[in-house]
A and B are shown apart, each in its own frame.
Chain A
Amino acid sequence: MITGLQAFFLVNALITLFAAVKVVSSRKLVHAALWLVLALMGVAATFAMLGSRFFSVIQVFVYIGAIATLIIVAVMLTRNSMEDVGPQVNRGWWLPLVVVVLLFVGLVVVLSGWGDFGLSTRTVGAEGENVMELGKALVDPNGFVLPFEIASALLLGAMVAAIYLATDRKEGKR
């Protein structure tokens, strides 16, 4: 018997997977980017179903608010030469398809051999994750302060690199 939550999960999963298929198969790249927003929204709903409200909100902020917008702007900036009429996938597209289907079957087979595959009791409570504990763990010298600082250095380096790469130096001389 399917409960309401399970039905919601199934509907959400179907919408997300359909949107993901449209992302990789849409002829027009702008449409693919908009389907990507829908897929990311479905993933945010999945996070919420897993009891992680914080990361559900972060998903909307970071992925839909920042990354999807960035992708849409990049699609618009690189538009003209790629007329949307030609084929959008490589000639040998069936080979990746075979690889991907084999990978999916392999993953499911490996996972179903795992003892806890049918596990349906959770350790997370109804109140979701403890964001204060997460924040403390991120800056705790005995916790995760080193990965946290490396991630901040990575973001800073990425920002500098992105500005350096995207600056039009010829225009600066003029």
Chain B
Amino acid sequence: MIPISWFLIFSAALFCIGLFGVLARKNTIGMLMGVELMLNAVNINLLAFWAYRYAGQMNGLVFVAIVFAAAAAEAAVGLALIISVYRRRTTVMADELNLMKG
């Protein structure tokens, strides 16, 4: 049987890679991809704790379902924002979106 620690370390690594993408990428769509990786890492964690500790309860599964819904909403609104910005500024690079700079 696989120890829970393997899943936890795997998801920690995935979360950190996604966080690096969010912090370092120039392209806003690349940043959104990093967010998706982070949300996936969170889901692995939730399901790992559910499977090893609380399989009789529904709390963990409901939480995973809500994270799925939030991720879908986030991707839809985020990409719509990016396309809207691209239409006005013809760029999606985060460092060129300085319209509100003081």
Contact = CB atoms under 8 A, between A and B. Distances in A.
Interface string B8-44: 1110111111111101111101101110110010011
A78 B8 CA distance: 36
B69 A151 contact: yes
Chain B interface size range: 35 or more
Contacts, number: 254
Contact of A165 (B55, B81, B91): B81
B81 to A, nearest CB: 6
A85 interface: no
A166 B5 contact: no
A24 B18 CA distance: 7
Contacts of B83: 74, 77-78, 165-166
B12 A162 contact: no
Interface residues of A, number: 88
Contacts of A58: 68
Interface string A40-63: 100100110111100100110011
Interface of B: 1-10, 12-21, 23-27, 29-30, 32-34, 36-37, 40, 43-44, 47-48, 50-56, 58, 61-62, 64-66, 68-77, 79-84, 86-87, 90-93, 95
22 contacts: A9-B2, A24-B21, A24-B37, A29-B27, A36-B33, A51-B51, A67-B36, A70-B75, A71-B75, A75-B29, A78-B86, A81-B92, A82-B93, A90-B25, A111-B8, A123-B55, A129-B55, A134-B62, A138-B62, A143-B58, A144-B58, A151-B65
Interface of A: 3, 5-6, 9, 13, 16-17, 20-21, 23-24, 29, 32-33, 36, 39-40, 43, 46-47, 49-52, 55, 58-59, 62-63, 66-67, 70-71, 74-75, 77-78, 81-82, 87-90, 93, 95-97, 99-101, 103-104, 107-108, 111-112, 116-125, 129, 133-134, 137-138, 143-144, 147-148, 151-152, 154-155, 157-159, 161-163, 165-166, 168
